Chains A and B, each alone.
Chain A
Amino acid sequence: MKKKSFFRVVEPYLYLAPAMIFFALFLFWPFFKTIRLSFAMTTPLGEVASNVGISNYISIFTSQKFLNSLFVTFKYAIMTVIFSIAFGFILAIVSSEDIKGTNFFRTVFALPMAISAAAASVVFMFIFHSSMGILNKVLGTNIGWLTDPKYALIAVTLVTVWMNIGLNFIYVTAALQSVPMDLYESASLEGAGFFAKHRHITIPCISPTLFFLLIINVINAVQAYAQVKMMTQGGPANSTNVIVYEIYQEAFMNSRFGMACAESMVLFVILLVLTLVQFRLEKKVTY
């Protein structure tokens, strides 16, 4: 009897153990290791060679290249977020009208969600190609979308927006279903047109979702990597050198793991603030 009750006490922890062990080994431990390394000079193998205090942090915040990567990330995030949400919203509105084939259109609108960054990147690289690309042919221009520092970030943003549309569309569509229909009906009776209805009813009603999407999109944008690696390698002239790509370069091309870890901590703090905002928000809007 005593043995059984001992098992009863331990049992819940056995269920938790697998997940917790993985979290400990591959989330918490590397997190502390990252903090540790950010205060150290490292060997090319990533071992601590000497403690250097906060000098890694001083170096990165005085490094033109790192500050530039923060600025690039910021620009990229803003552009990505605005267009991703706007398109998701428009698509959701358009496909929520009562017409034939809604299910088909919804599948198509959500589909980019399933496309990997690598595949999207190579397809768009060809679309953007300066001499053979279909984009220049359609526009009748001769722009080096991926080779001109003025346009490269815009090109990378375009691909990201295309990939993000699905998720934004899905969330806005779900939110639209919770807007009370009678609001629209009474607005119609008062003679409100299509745009007035959406401006004064839809947007206020789904604003929590829009704000939630804002945060999610920023979090994703700040972590973007594959598009940049595939399409521009951070160039031309560092114009697409987003923070994760900068970290990757420091660690795996320059073997400066200490510096890269200090940069990772900056990334962590940015994302921490955003995640906290998101948690607060989720508490507020879940009813």
Chain B
Amino acid sequence: MNRKIMKAVFYALNIVMAVIIIAPIVYCFNVSMMSLKEVFAGKFWPGQVMAENYVRAVQLAPFFTFIKNSLITSGIITIGQIITGALAAYAFSMMKFRGRNVLFLVMLSTMMIPSQAIIIANYLTICDWNLKNTYTALVLPNMATAFAVFNMRQAFLQLPMEIKEAADIDGCGNFRFFYEIALPLVRPSMGALGIYTFLQSWNYYLWPLLITDTVDMRTVQIGLGMLQGAEATDFRPVMAGSMIILVPSILAFVLGQKQLISGLTSGSVKG
């Protein structure tokens, strides 16, 4: 009997917590469906389903352009980080060479330099190169991270060394082994890294804010801020805009949740 009560209590607690956490997102969706009257009345649920605010959001700011820019940028960054990460990780885990430890330390040291602290210098570099308002500028500083290298290295290290030895004996070249055997084997790790990187870069804020100042190069996150600036009194189109940019991240999260979580928590702390 006691156990049953405990279970009921926990069930209730879970529901309450879930409601609290999800409430801001539900509320955002609700407001995006409301009429102005309902907003002023302070309603939580909308009285109808309507697309009016979405239409307004798209009219006020070129959301499709923002989405295109964000998709291109995040896509290139994700692929870029997987390529640079996998290549470097392969060298660190499968090859022996001079200076391996030193170079590994160099890689490690990049984690000590936070992006926010060097963002001014990077901004000045991009300006020097006349790259402001280009996709190149949006992706360049984010094409390689130590996180991606470590993540891929972890995956390669879990492959049995015998495969590599057998390939060496058969005279299979390194690149062929890397491309045709090692990469397909670590596909789950690549997937997890890809989802994580995509989510991260979809959500970038400061860098795109600094190096783009034309409307047609803005990304979704900055575009949302513009929308908010354009509509000081009516929040409904802004909420509609938020929903537009939230849906891709929520989808990516729900679909890749399992891999994402195991990728994040493996190889870090146990205990």
Tell me the A residues contacting B by CB distance below 8 Å: 9, 11-13, 15-16, 18-20, 22-23, 25-31, 33-34, 37, 45-46, 90-91, 94-95, 97-101, 104-105, 107-120, 122-127, 129, 132, 134, 137, 162, 165, 167, 170-171, 174-175, 178, 194, 205-209, 212, 219, 223, 225-226, 229-230, 244, 247-248, 251-252, 257, 260-261, 264-265, 267-268, 271-272, 275-276, 282, 285-287
A65 to B66 CA separation, bound complex (whole angstroms): 35
- Given A101-B14, A134-B44, A111-B21 contact (CB < 8 Å): yes
Determine the interface band of chain B, counting residues with CB < 8 A from chain A. Answer: 35 or more
Closest partner residue, chain A, to B253 (CB atom): A114
Do residues A212 and B268 form an inter-chain contact, with CB atoms below 8 A? yes
* Nearest 5 Cβ contacts at the A-B interface: A30-B121, A114-B253, A116-B203, A22-B144, A15-B91
Contact among A31, A94, A126, A286 with B13 in the assembled complex (CB-CB below 8 Å): A94
Nearest-Cβ distance from residue B67 to partner chain A, whole angstroms: 13
Do residues A132 and B42 form an inter-chain contact, with CB atoms below 8 A? yes
Do residues A111 and B250 form an inter-chain contact, with CB atoms below 8 A? yes
Q: Indicate if B194 sits at the interface (CB-CB under 8 A).
A: no
Do residues A18 and B87 form an inter-chain contact, with CB atoms below 8 A? yes
Closest partner residue, chain B, to A102 (CB atom): B14
Residues in B neighbouring A9, C-beta threshold 8 A: 97
Do residues B88 and A19 form an inter-chain contact, with CB atoms below 8 A? yes
Residues in A neighbouring B241, C-beta threshold 8 A: 122
Q: Indicate if B95 sits at the interface (CB-CB under 8 A).
A: yes
Q: Indicate if B210 sits at the interface (CB-CB under 8 A).
A: yes
Do residues A23 and B14 form an inter-chain contact, with CB atoms below 8 A? no
Q: Indicate if B158 sits at the interface (CB-CB under 8 A).
A: no
Do residues A123 and B21 form an inter-chain contact, with CB atoms below 8 A? no
Do residues B17 and A118 form an inter-chain contact, with CB atoms below 8 A? no
B249-268 vs A, Cβ < 8 Å mask (1 yes, 0 no)? 11011100100010011011
A161 to B234 CA separation, bound complex (whole angstroms): 26
Closest partner residue, chain A, to B266 (CB atom): A174
- Given A18-B144, A123-B27, A212-B14 contact (CB < 8 Å): no
A129 to B22 CA separation, bound complex (whole angstroms): 19
Residues in B neighbouring A178, C-beta threshold 8 A: 270-271
Contact among A23, A209, A226 with B107 in the assembled complex (CB-CB below 8 Å): A23
Residues in B neighbouring A252, C-beta threshold 8 A: 210
Residues in B neighbouring A100, C-beta threshold 8 A: 11
